[in-house]
Structure 1
Amino acid sequence: MSGEFALVLHTHLPHLKGHGVWPVGEEWLFQAWAGSWLPVTRMLERLADDGHRDVLTLGVTPLAAHQVRDPRLARDLGTWLGGQMWRSEEQRWHTDMGPEVVELATFYWRHFADLLAYHQDVEARGGLTAVWADLAARGVVQLLGGPATHPYLPLVADPTLIDAQLASGLGDHAGWAPAPSRGLWVPEMGYRPRGPVGDPTAAPVRVDRYGTPTLPPRGPALPGLEEHYAAHGIDHVLIDTATLWAGEGRPGRDWTANEVLASGEYADLPALHEGVLIGDGEVAAFARDLNVGCHVWSAAAGYPADVWYRDYFAHGTFGTHPSWRVTDRSLPPDAKQPYVPAAAAERVEAHAQHFHGELRRTLADRPGGVVVCAYDTELFGHWWFEGPAWLEAVLRRVATDPELRTTTLASRRERHPPTRRLRLPESSWGHAKSHASWVADTTRPMWQAIDEAIATARAALAGGRGRPEAREQVARELALLMTSDWPYMVLRGNAAGYAEERVRGHADALANLCRLIEEGRDDVPEVTRLAAVDDAPRDVSAFLAALDPSTAPAAAG
């Protein structure tokens, strides 16, 4: 056998329940849930029914799991899917857009009717987490947990809050998955070795030409993040290729313009195909393979940019679904050609064949090696409409190839334990493989808000003050304030205003709750109102122990 293909999917969105509807808010959640999470799950069930096992690794963050378990959101998704079917009917009347667009109305009606039927079936079986748990129990997927609210861990300066995030998130995962999580998709693939933590609330010492800030240190040297992971039962995590590159002491290179390695560089990076142990511990790091993965990720040359695929950004007008193909990336949306589903399906098969060939070529010189490709689940279906079909075609091709096999990360680690050790540098998957996607002048107030909230919460909760409901809500607001999506949306997303509003909202709610606790007036309806909206994480005992050590359970003696 030439080698193994480890596909890893990251299922995550921030907590959107009750925080707006459109264009950002619950609409975003429903688009990802219906467009990606349901189709990918249905694809996995088809593979399972055909006898496939050890197919892929599925990361599900606690915030994603919490929201798909919410009965109100599940009902509203059904209503939303019905609305998409109604929009398909409206499309029949948009004759001014040409007959090809009108004819797509039937295609879309069937698409959303099928999704609605599958959603109802999934809910009848206990919801998505129940189906994911069943797939894991049957050996089809490995499930990855995550920290409670997806914080950017390299810049969390309080080790007790790192542990609280891990304890809360992994505890939530254990509550619905068939087994505790052994692996972790670390938020943003962020890593920090043992040493001081950079201060994102202060002006950087310098900023290089790629936007990477060198942050002044704050506080004492802390354990490396892998030490926290090991303490919580985690024995493997994901990192980026650039992290391995730097860990091997290779010279700096520009990771912003072209992430793909030249053939010589690529062949001389053996850790990319084996995994490594981080430092002196037993936590293994698997790196995503940028050279293979770029065939999907690359905005300019990746498969989703093919001229026959549906264009995500060509939305048309009110009352129609996106009904235009990429055509030419230089054209404005109103100059695109109509989408042709049959032609797109042919390109799916061609691209699956090409990707399969890339796997074979890559592994041919490394018998027994592994190629790790890691993507956001939301890419498949929501962003790349044809993505779930492509995934299924690739996985079926690999399964029938005697020279290849699919594997989960846990299975790979068990059958081929890494032996090589590397000391890895501070890094992420983001812009320039640094903190640049989360730290800049415009996001400094967000990091300052987190620091202020921690100090305010500790002062208000000290000595066990406050009613349990109010104390728990303070912890939830802080946990949600730490979400890494907020600074990322400001610097790399397209909804900076929404992210800034969310940070202000959680910071103001926490400050108000702390004031009520200090004044002895925390028995007001405001506590119940906030808890009805921001109800994740459910179990915040670990956060409360970190914020108010006087109430932490005594260690076993």
Structure 2
Amino acid sequence: MSRRAPGELALVLHTHLPYLRHHGVWPVGEEWLFQAWGTSWLPVTRLLEELAGEGRREVVTLGVTPMVAHQVADQRLADDLGTWLGGQVWRSEEQRWHDRVPDDVRALSSFYWRRFSGLLAYHEDVQRRGGLLAVWAQLQDAGVLELLGGPATHPYLPLQTDPALIDAQLADGLASHARWAGGSPRGIWAPEMGYRPRGRVADATAAATAVDAHGTPTLPRTGPELPGLEEHYAAHGISHVLVDAPTLIQAAGGRERDWTVRPDPAAPGTPESVVHDGVLIGDSDVTAYARDLSVAYHVWSPTAGYPGNVWYRDLYATGGYGLHPSWRVTDRSLPPDRKATYEPDRAAAQTLIDAEHLRGVLHGVLDDRPGELVVAAYDTELFGHWWFEGVEWLGALVRAVADDPTLTTTTVASRRERRPPTRRLELPESSWGFAKGHASWVTDQTRPMWQELRRAEAAARRALAGGRGPSGARVQVARELALLASSDWPFMVTRGNSPGYAAERVADHADQLHRLCHAIERDAVDDAEVAAIAARDDAPADVTALLAALDPAGTGAAR
């Protein structure tokens, strides 16, 4: 008797932060990096090594952007992370002797001491073995995970107006990935899951002609017809990308809806069921895989998810100086000073309940679809940082699915190789942002950022034309332009996440670029000034393709 093909779960984690090295310490700069690295990337990696030791394979698809790879490879940052983790251990001691909190809060000091001293020891072990990049590459070689790459500085590609710069961002980002991972990635997590088909580009520098009830702008189109993003991906050897569910559902004829609400599982044969396998984009060989919101939103959504359970730790109930967050969610309507004390054992028990619940959800979706796929995609930072217990939940889920004879985990690359897609669709312009369009990156408040980016592109082309300027200055102009293009800056303004910091970063990179361009044009480059700027902004490390795009008739540049 033949067995039913198991339903497949592709867990996809997106490991990304903007370039934060030497750009502030607290609360947004390097503190943000250390929080993500120390409480998410490290414990997730430790979990993956534990699962590898248990013989688990094809556990997750792990996206690592070039900006993350550059920063975790930096020895000074790695040393400072050790100091930061040591500081968390010391904070546990402060909590032990704190005289203004209840005894049960002080008692949590031992829990935190064990947690952070363990992370510090693991960090030191990882560094002895070559750092996170070496461990991630080894896990890929062992078949535990698939590594995804991405463009050099995570630009929002649907609104980029220069195809040469899109290609350059991809070329330099993929080359960077190949140097540490041992080969170019087959797949990428496109920044913000953004997609644009062939056609003219929406002009983010212009006022919207209309804005719908969700804040999605209708923008005038500018310039000539450009290739669809899949054409760029194909040219760089990319075989698969991640998009959001509405991108495929709308392409398949599904209706518009409130995408902040978790949908019911799609009935077989409906447009919504398109998310249960890959789709070839247009006439290309590039496959799009979409996250299934009916599953993914149980974990994290704009309105709900497991992290809001009453037993989980509340990240924002900090209690003040000298304390770790030591209160649980309790009731989301309560202010922080009325929350109940965190109970680690009850929270740990809840992770098992929630992992089992999602296994049941997967059965509800996949039991009528033998051999089909659910993609559950999240920022890696969710696990351990935003959701304190998330790593434990992730481990419980992977083990539960792997031990279930009718379910299995897979990487996206493995799925594509074993089950090559045959369906083709023309995809709409889209993202995973609010209302699934450009609303998270384009508003009246962010328009000056897009205008500054266009001015900087024009200034860089003028200054570098014909190979002008010494190599160091040329490289630094390309770096500043690439850093200016990061999708994080408009997102932080639009979504209210440290908008002042984002505005400062845009102004800073633009100022550096224009100073360098003016110096090149006047033939008055100060090598010491260039070296000082480069010491602060040393990413991307290799901008060969970016320089060639900015000055196609010039001399290019060495690394």
Answer yes or no: same fold by TM over 0.5: yes
Q: Which residue in 2 is equivalent to 1:319?
A: 322
Q: Shift of the alpha carbon at 1:298?
A: 2.7
Partner residue of 1:199 out of 200, 203, 207: 203
Deviation at 1:265?
9.0
Cα distance in 2 for partners of 1:506, 1:265 equals 50
Q: May I ask how many residue pairs the two structures share in their alignment? A: 553
Q: In structure 1, the residue corresponding to 2:87 is in which secondary structure?
A: helix
- 1:274 deviation in Å? 1.2
1:351 and 2:349 equivalent? Answer: no
Q: How much does 1:178 deviate?
A: 2.6
Determine helix, strand or coil for the equivalent of 2:100.
helix
Structure 2 residue ranges without an equivalent (≥5): none
Aligned to 1:224: 228
The superposition leaves residues 54-102 of structure 1 with CA deviations (integer Å, 9 ceiling, x where unpaired) of 1110000000000000000000000111111111111112232101110
Q: CA deviation at 1:497?
A: 0.0
- Alignment of 1:58 with 2:62, yes or no, is yes
Is 1:408 matched with 2:381? no
> Which amino acid letter does the alignment assign opposite residue 515 of structure 2?
N
* Structure 2 residue matching 1:269: 3-state secondary structure: helix
What's the offset of the Cα at 1:263?
5.2
TM-score with structure 2 length normalisation?
A: 0.97
What is the one-letter code of the residue matched to 2:518? Answer: R
1:331 is aligned to: 334
- Distance in 1 between the 2:121 and 2:21 partners? 23
Q: 1:299 to 1:453 in 2, by over 3 A?
A: closer
Equivalent residue runs for 1:271-310 within 5 Å: 271-298=274-301, 300-310=303-313
Aligned pair 1:187/2:191, yes or no? yes
Instruction: Normalising by structure 1, report the TM-score.
Output: 0.98
> Is the 2:263–2:294 contact (alpha carbons within 8 Å) kept by the matching residues of 1?
yes
Return the alpha-carbon distance in structure 2 between the equivalents of residues 131 and 216 of structure 1: 46
* Distance (Å, rounded) in 1 between the aligned partners of 2:555 and 2:383: 43
Bigger mean CA offset, 259-268 vs 351-360: 259-268
Q: What do you get for the CA RMSD once the two structures are aligned?
A: 1.3
The equivalent residue for 2:139 is 135
Q: Match for 2:96: what amino acid?
A: R
Q: Corresponding residue for 2:181?
A: 177
Report the Cα offset of residue 268 of structure 1: 4.7
Distance change (3 Å), C-alpha of 1:552 and 1:246:
farther
Q: Counterpart amino acid of 2:336?
A: P
Match of 2:105 among 97, 101, 108: 101
Equivalent in the alignment of 1:364: 367
Q: Which amino acid aligns with 2:480?
A: E
* CA distance, structure 1, for counterparts of residue 333 and residue 97 of structure 2: 29
Tell me the equivalent position of 1:79. 83
Q: Deviation per CA, 1:407-452, whole angstroms, max 9, x where unpaired?
A: 0000000000010000000000000000000000000000000000
Cα shift at 1:259: 4.3
**What is the rounded CA distance, in whole Å, between the counterparts of 1:2 and 1:79 in structure 2?**
46
Q: Tell whether 2:377 aligns with 1:388.
A: no
Please tell me whether the aligned partners of residues 239 and 428 of structure 1 are also in contact (alpha carbons under 8 angstroms): yes
Identify the residue that residue 426 of structure 1 maps to in structure 2.
Answer: 429
**1: distance between equivalents of 2:166 and 2:278?**
24
Aligned counterparts of 2:78 and 2:437: Cα–Cα separation in 1 = 37
SS in 2 for 1:454: helix
Residues 164 and 546, structure 1, Cα contact 8 Å, conserved in 2: yes
Verify the 8 A CA contact 1:299 1:305 in the aligned structure 2. Answer: no
The answer for the alignment partner of 2:381 in structure 1 is 378
Equivalences for residues 237-252 of structure 1 within 5 A: 237-252=241-256
CA offset digits 1:186-233 (Å, max 9, x no partner) = 000000000000000001111111101111011000000000000000
Q: Cα offset for 1:240?
A: 0.6
Amino acid at match of 1:418: P
Q: Secondary structure at the match of 1:58?
A: strand
Cα shift at 1:301: 3.2
Would you say 1:342 and 2:325 are equivalent positions? no
Contact residue 253 and residue 271 of structure 2 kept, 8 A: no
Q: CA deviation at 1:51?
A: 0.8
Residues 4 and 370 in structure 1, CA contact (< 8 A), matched pair in contact too:
yes
C-alpha separation in 1, matches of 2:124 and 2:365: 41
1:495 paired residue number: 498
CA contact (8 A) 1:150 1:187 kept: yes
- Write the distance in 1 (CA, Å) between the matches of 2:263 and 2:314: 25
The CA deviation at 1:2 is 3.1
- The CA deviation string for residues 282-332 of structure 1, in whole angstroms up to 9 with x for no partner, is 100000000000111135431100000000111111000000000000001
Alignment of 1:163-174 (within 5 A): 163-174=167-178
The residue identity in structure 1 corresponding to 2:78 is A
The sequence identity of aligned pairs, in percent, is 65
CA distance in 2, matches of 1:318, 1:553: 51
Query: Does the 8 Å contact 1:467/1:523 carry over to 2?
Result: no
In 2, Cα distance between equivalents of 1:56 and 1:106? 32
Q: Deviations over 1:103-128 (max 9, x none)?
A: 00111111110000000000000000
Bigger mean CA deviation after superposition, 352-361 or 116-125: 352-361
Contact 1:2 1:360 in 2 (8 A): no
Q: Which SS does the other structure have where 2:9 is aligned? A: strand
Q: Is 1:110 the equivalent of 2:100?
A: no
Match of 2:489 among 467, 486, 491: 486
Of residues 121, 125, 130, the one that matches 2:125 is 121
**Match for 1:234 among 233, 238, 262?**
238
Q: How does 1:531-546 map to 2 (within 5 A)?
A: 531-546=534-549
Please name the residue that 1:39 is paired with: 43
The aligned amino acid for 1:196 is R
Residues 547 and 556 in structure 2, CA contact (< 8 A), matched pair in contact too: no
Paired position in structure 2 for 1:452: 455
Q: 2:46 aligns to what SS in structure 1?
A: helix
Work out the CA distance in 2 between the residues paired with 1:313 and 1:253.
Answer: 31
Counterpart contact for 2:266–2:272, Cα < 8 Å: no
Residue among 148, 157, 163 paired with 2:161: 157
